[in-house]
Amino acid sequence: MQRVINDRPITYLDSGASSLTPRSVIEAMDRYYQHHHANVHRGVYQTANEATAVYEGARARTARFLNAPGGSEEIVFTKNATEAFNLLARSWGAAFLSPGDVVLVSEMEHHANIVPWFQLRESHGVEVRFIPVDDDFRLDISRIDELMRGVKLVSVTGMSNVLGTINPIHDLAEMAHAHGALIAVDGAQSVAHSSTDVVALDVDFLAFSAHKMLGPTGLGVLWARQEILSSMPPFLGGGGMIKDVSVNGFTATTGPSRFEAGTPPIAETAGLAAALTYLEGLGMDNIAAYEKELTGDALTRLALEFNGRVRVIGPSDTLDRGGVISLDVEGVHPHDVAQVLDQFGVCVRPGHHCAKPLMKRFGLAATARASYGPYSLVSDTDVLLEALTHAVTMFG
Amino acid sequence: MANLDDLYREIILDHYRSPRNRGELPPPAHHVEGFNPLCGDEIVVYVLIDDGVLVDIKLTGHGCSISQASSSLMSGAVKGKTLEQVRDTIATFKQLMTVHEGQLGEPAVATSPDADLRRLGELAALAGVVKFPVRIKCATLAWNTLAQALDETST
Ligand SMILES: Cc1ncc(COP(=O)(O)O)c(C=O)c1O
């Protein structure tokens, strides 16, 4: 994206909200519209076959990216990560949880991984319990055995969209399974920034959005172990998800299509496949190492340059931490910080980042959040610091 | 492109740094809470109404400079006025904060006639907010909350 704002080239530091889009991703979507446009799983003509190949090819590509043991059969396309969690709660949750069963989330979750469980509490009487966050911005698992009592599902984020904290998913998976529970991971902030291997992590569900991993908006993924997915009842009803319909009722089809009622986003899946190829071209480990360097540099300079007037709400070093940096500027509301930064072409996000329980935990109404992507540069941090200096001065 | 000085006029920064009419009013004053769910801003508006006149108004809460300055300016503009005058000021202010279609890429224009601006006095300092559409909600939070308080007390 090449925009000049207020005579300044854009400094995009909002990849945590939505990442920028590589040309190859845009071209892949263009190609679908210009050469293969048709609905999927319907027509028998040439382009209809091609469209189906694009869509199903992207499913296979996604499965390979996650090292999904059951391949394509485990990949459900949704609208976004939020819809993936709603699918999980409404289908798996409603079918397998009984009143009194516990869903254990954490205090650092995005509302997408809280509200669907609260809704399930209302409809099915499940209990929603929270793993607390300690003063070092990490999950406090010191009393995990107590917390695990009655838990049927642990559902936590791979990386906090506010703190940047990367959670010990493999350890949590081990604890969940030892207590006979399943584990779901919110991968929205993690999948684009380090490698995700669902077998190595030993998890059961994973949800994420394409638009935060260099892909297009309008597409998300729910990955679930095949044996679990095949036991789950359908979510939305309509075309594409049925085996048979008569005036007396319907039977649902099998496989991921069972959860994909109606015409799905098709061009977007082509875009996602291209984004995954782009990410793997860079190398997920390279991306992780590079962003760690950027983050470390920014954290060091933020600590040095503002005499404590700019506080980082998140871990202060790069151990188990990603490139999301939430700032609390003394005496300046995050909205005003972001507004002054905008004058320098700097895009950051002010607000509660859909994580109100976490904000409350740290006594904040909002933060201004800068977040990095694989295309970010040290010079982005330079402009950020220049603009922050201006904001601090302006509001005295 | 909208300029930052349009938004952070000196008068706004002044009201942000030293807000007027801060505090609470005891019953029989009525109070209403307002939230801006997007940014977490919260405000409580206390109104004391007697015989069709807004005798006193006080505000508590927290928020950005625009929402704080707007509520401070509002309190000064409506205190001691008849309810009819207050409603009129609310309507005029909200008109000032309205974005019209097709403004993406073009500088947004405040459409209120100058006469309205003059009528608003100090409040006109907030006119620049409309050039930053995302911030309109910050500027109108106190006003919507006040309107709700008036509605609740009139029934
Ligand atoms: C950790 C986390 N989970 C879930 C979401 C929701 O993603 P989406 O809005 O694409 O559904 C976000 C996006 O902000 C996020 O950061």
Provide, rounded to the nearest whole percent, the portion of chain A with pLDDT above 70.
98
Among protein residues, the one whose CA lies closest to atom 7 of ligand 1: A81
pLDDT surpasses 90 at B72: yes
Q: Is there an atom of ligand 1 within 6 Å of A14 CB?
A: no
Tokens at A35, concatenated: 């050469």
The per-residue pLDDT for B9 is: 81
The per-residue pLDDT for A338 is: 93
Picking from B41, B66, B43, B58, the residue whose alpha carbon sits closest to that of residue B125 is: B66
Cβ atoms B39, A334 nearer than 8 A: yes
Q: In angstroms, rounded to a whole number, what is the distance separating the alpha carbons of residues A343 and A349?
A: 14
DSSP code string of A139-163: B--TTHHHHTTTEEEEEEESB-TTT
CB contact under 8 Å between B8 and A334, yes or no, is no
The per-residue pLDDT for B107 is: 46
Give the CATH fold of the A23-281 domain: Aspartate Aminotransferase; domain 2 (3.40.640)
pLDDT surpasses 80 at A16: yes
Chain B environment of A395 (Cβ under 8 Å): 13, 65
User: Which of the four pLDDT bands, split at 50, 70 and 90, describes residue B4?
Assistant: confident
> What tens digit of pLDDT does each residue of A291-318 get?
999 999 999 999 999 988 999 999 999 9
Measured over the CA atoms of residue A380, residue A384, residue A385 and residue A389, the dihedral's sign is positive
Chain A environment of B132 (Cβ under 8 Å): 339
| Average pLDDT, rounded, for chain A | 94
The per-residue pLDDT for A121 is: 98
> What tens digit of pLDDT does each residue of A74-107 get?
999 999 999 999 999 999 999 999 999 999 999 9
Cβ atoms A325, B6 nearer than 8 A: no
Residue type, A102: V
Across A357-362, average pLDDT: 94
> What tens digit of pLDDT does each residue of A244-270 get?
888 999 988 888 999 999 999 999 999
Across B1-25, average pLDDT: 83
Q: How many CB pairs under 8 A join A and B?
A: 47
Pocket test for ligand 1, best of A354, A358, A367 (most atoms within 8 A of CB): A354
Smallest CA–CA distance, residue B54 to chain A, in Å, is 30
Ligand 1 atom closest to residue A82's alpha carbon, by position in its atom list: 11
Q: Which CATH number fits domain A4-21+283-394: 2.70.70.10, 3.40.50.720, 3.90.850.10, 3.90.1150.10?
A: 3.90.1150.10
Peptide bond into A374 cis (omega under 30): no
Strand bridging mode A346-347 / A11-12? parallel
Cβ atoms A201, A184 nearer than 8 A: no
Across A8-15, average pLDDT: 90
Find the angle CA(B129)-CA(B122)-CA(B13) to the nearest 5 degrees: 60
CA atoms within 13 A on the CB side of A249: 2
Find the angle CA(A309)-CA(A11)-CA(A303) to the nearest 5 degrees: 25
Neighbours of A330 (CB within 10 A): 12
Backbone angles phi, psi at A246, to 5 degrees: -135, 180
Q: 3-state class of A189 per DSSP?
A: coil
pTM of the shown model: 0.88
Neighbours of A364 (CB within 10 A): 17
> What tens digit of pLDDT does each residue of A175-224 get?
999 999 999 999 999 999 999 999 999 999 999 999 999 999 999 999 99
Across A168-176, average pLDDT: 97
Measured over the CA atoms of residue B141, residue B142, residue B143 and residue B145, the dihedral's sign is positive
CATH assignment of the domain containing B97 = 3.90.1010.10
The per-residue pLDDT for A244 is: 87
Cα A92 from chain centroid (whole Å): 20
Total of domains in chain B: 1
Q: What distance in angstroms lies between residue A82's CA and the mean position of ligand 1's atoms? A: 6
pLDDT surpasses 80 at A396: no
Listed in sequence order, the residues at least 6 apart from B26 whose beta carbon sits closer than 8 Å to its beta carbon are: none
Tokens at B21, concatenated: 């009419």
Q: Could you identify the residue written with the tokens 């906090």?
A: A160
Cβ atoms A165, A314 nearer than 8 A: yes
Domain spans in chain A, listed from the N-terminal domain onward: 4-21+283-394, 23-281
Across A273-298, average pLDDT: 97
Chain B environment of A394 (Cβ under 8 Å): 8
Enzyme catalytic residues of A: 354
Tokens at A306, concatenated: 């503002």
pLDDT surpasses 70 at A6: no
The per-residue pLDDT for B129 is: 85
Q: In angstroms, rounded to a whole number, what is the distance separating the alpha carbons of residues B25 and A353?
A: 33
pLDDT surpasses 70 at B39: no
Tokens at B38, concatenated: 């997007």
Picking from A216, A166, A191, the residue whose alpha carbon sits closest to that of residue A318 is: A166
Q: What distance in angstroms lies between residue A81's CA and the mean position of ligand 1's atoms? A: 6
Cβ atoms B78, B89 nearer than 8 A: yes
The per-residue pLDDT for A9 is: 82
pLDDT surpasses 80 at A67: yes
> What tens digit of pLDDT does each residue of B90-140 get?
998 888 887 765 544 454 454 555 556 666 778 888 888 888 888 888 899
Q: What distance in angstroms lies between residue A111's CA and the mean position of ligand 1's atoms? A: 8
Range of the domain at B45: 4-154
Provide, rounded to the nearest whole percent, the portion of chain B with pLDDT above 90.
41
CB contact under 8 Å between A333 and B13, yes or no, is no
